[in-house]
A and B are shown apart, each in its own frame.
Chain A
């Protein structure tokens, strides 16, 4: 198998790591952008790529977890609305109780979250985009500093 991980810019990765452990913001680049070559190998796509795919597609995305919102629902069941962010934009993810069963803990304890789910597009232009999560990719989720230190083979 072709090892494409070598395309990761190690200097950029060190810089992203340093920013992660020393600051509240990222000044040089979004930390996920430096890991993108590795993510491409896992078929994890960018937020902007979602606009090109048809509704119903099964997609994998990754992002820094920004907001977990659990508004009250009529039925009383908890629905989680996640806002994640990669280097190209925000990604909105909906997590229904079925998916929460196995992954709620991962969601609530991760800084970086990778998910697989169905793409849902709404509106005449199809630019209202969300992903209905089916599973979390636990190997790619967790603390950001650990994610940036991930060993590349």
Chain B
């Protein structure tokens, strides 16, 4: 029997949230193992489509992408894309479903071109009518649907045998034949094996109990990824099975433009490039200090590369966004490899890439298949203003990137237990024993290995543990990415379905990896709380008449380095964790490049590769730098022979082996991501041959390759490190010179860094600042300066939220200070519980004496 005569055309993965039980990657793997050649993914949206497409292409399986929709008569209908153009229609239809729930006849007549339609499934008007032998009703439903389709010849009736009546199957076949409609066999695959049916039921129960929806699970365990034999046994109508192959052949032309760039075109490329060139030279001319000819050479080189890749528009767009931020005094900085570009420095600010020896080619090179990112961090509190500005610039072309949340250990236990009917107090008892540090660990393994869980009550709940483990890692829900905005070349609805977030923002169904795969432009408008803290600190200084511009402070301030060397770095950006504090003590930074190294060293890579100790010993002259080949020695001079930065890998591959920067970057990526690939082998060959061509011996080439490949994956992007180190220095400078403003900034910016407010307050006290407790007559809604100390706000008191704190302040401003506790309670009615807590916290302290003072005053008078 030919194994590829049947194709599953209705498949719902875990991206039909809380319904399907497997990921698209699992589906592809199962299809491969069953020897089938094509498979469709027809979720209720397109969240899993791109990863499914990539996984299928990688495994040599023909991917068919479709979606399931509810139409005007309440029926569920599946549409399959036959080309990229029809995929764009699919996106439009999903957008309509996301926003209005159902598809109307008009929607279908506009957007069904090129789509294969599968109707008459379990949940459809046709099926319901045929069950009751109401052929007229079924005919009417079918004709209405058919008349709305652009390609009625691609309309199919599905037959399924899920253990229901054979009569229905026969009725459907007779009906379809009488209507001259083709028939396909499907199985509405929802789990890969019957064993996973229970997981499906649990997921549906989660929908019912957690989201309070009314959903009915599938009636039995027959909706699994069946083999051809199983389908032949179930469906006694061979043509329906063969037709699945016909449908697959209709979709053969379908492909997604993965791996190509699709930047938006805002203006003509020539015009954009002229504008960018002019802007850069203007900015170069207005730099604070005169620059050497090397800046001009570098700028020429960068502009050439940018114009070649037609990215000038993109740079101008980012400049536009930054101009908006500057006009509103919104603090921002560039992060990532983009900080290594002179163009970026000139038009967006940051650290000088020439002075700090940062490499442009890590950011843009000929070999990059994806759009380069310019990630910008903005003041967290004001990031929404920037997001709204960008969305308003191109309303038809933009949407937020979405984020997929997966079940994690604790949430899986809680939700599975709830679905299984455990009482709430029992769920709390079982889940509370699971520490937060379980994050990312396998539940079953943790229960075996972690000593604190040995006697945990959950150990006895074997079925719960089993189900929770199987749920862990499956998609649970989606949310809006914090700052990723897609800018499509044309209507965003034709690249991804777009829905609305609760805040009303347009949200795509593509996550950041999907956006990268489709080569779409993604602007990352990120939020950095340290920017908020610095802004607030500067405002406090401004109020005191100190006008400090942190972007122009000298980078060699002794007091700042002395503070860092003392390891008292709580609150300093990036350097406050235990590891970083310890590293500060060992490294004793004295200049900016030490901070760049410090930021790069304490990362999983260098720590795992034991590069940190080597670096420290060599820097402190406790160990000599080993002999290295001339070229390599030059490249690694700044890091004492240790490969610390990704840029160093690129330079070694470029100067030692003569690879172009594009090849060198591919070499670095291959070593970071997929070290066993064939591509890696080819690159190795390329590296060694290149080195030999450059006059090096084969043995030296191999030795260098081994050294570089051993450490390449540990390297950190120097441009990113330098950009972060700049913020580190600024925050340390503030702490060293203006501690009161620094701590107030930190405390008023929410949770900044690793430490809670209690630690920041204690640290401020140790720094010599006086801490004043919250008081109804003195506290504000934020931490405030009081003399040289800090007054704590009222909302640190348990039960007093910001709203009550604001009410107290407003009342005090209007009617004057509270003169007694009774007066306070008369003016601000508060529950007894809050009154007691305010009293215990000392927020009324002194009022009694004040009142007594007034009485005495009156008596004396």
Contact = CB atoms under 8 A, between A and B. Distances in A.
Contacts of A68: 437
Contacts of A129: 582, 585
B578 A123 contact: no
Given A23-B796, A104-B450, A122 B585 contact: yes
B410 interface: no
Interface string B235-275: 00000000000000000000000000000000000000000
Nearest to A97: B451
Contact of B440 (A26, A30, A72, A108): A72
Interface stretch (B384-392, B466-474, B769-777): B769-777
Contacts of A80: 437
A101 B451 contact: yes
A67 B582 CA distance: 16
A107 B450 CA distance: 13
A25 B758 contact: yes
A108 B435 contact: yes
A102 B451 contact: yes
Contact of B766 (A24, A83, A89): A89
Interface residues of A, number: 46
B693 interface: no
Contact of A88 (B570, B579, B586, B766): B766
A105 interface: yes
Interface in A122-144: 122-125, 127-130
A127 B761 contact: no
Interface stretch (A3-11, A14-22, A36-44): A14-22
Given A81-B579, A90-B570, A125 B585 contact: yes
Interface string B571-582: 000000111011
A21 B839 CA distance: 12
A67 B754 contact: yes
Contacts of A19: 773, 841
Contacts of A69: 577-578
A70 interface: yes
Interface string A32-74: 0000000000000000000000000000000010111111101
Contacts of A15: 842
A81 B582 CA distance: 12
Nearest to A68: B437
A72 B439 CA distance: 10
B583 interface: yes
Interface string B595-619: 0000000001000100000001000
A25 B588 contact: no
A12 to B, nearest CB: 13
Contact of B761 (A18, A25, A92): A25
Interface in B553-593: 565-568, 570, 577-579, 581-588
B762 interface: yes
A132 B91 CA distance: 57
B582 A27 contact: no
Contact of A21 (B449, B452, B774, B840): B840
The 3 closest A-B pairs by CB, nearest first: A128-B585, A123-B586, A27-B773
Interface of B: 435, 437, 440, 449-452, 565-568, 570, 577-579, 581-588, 604, 608, 616, 620, 754-759, 761-762, 765-766, 771-774, 792, 796-798, 837, 840-842
20 contacts: A22-B797, A22-B798, A24-B757, A27-B761, A28-B773, A71-B604, A78-B437, A83-B754, A89-B568, A90-B581, A92-B582, A100-B451, A101-B451, A108-B437, A122-B586, A123-B582, A123-B585, A123-B616, A128-B583, A129-B585
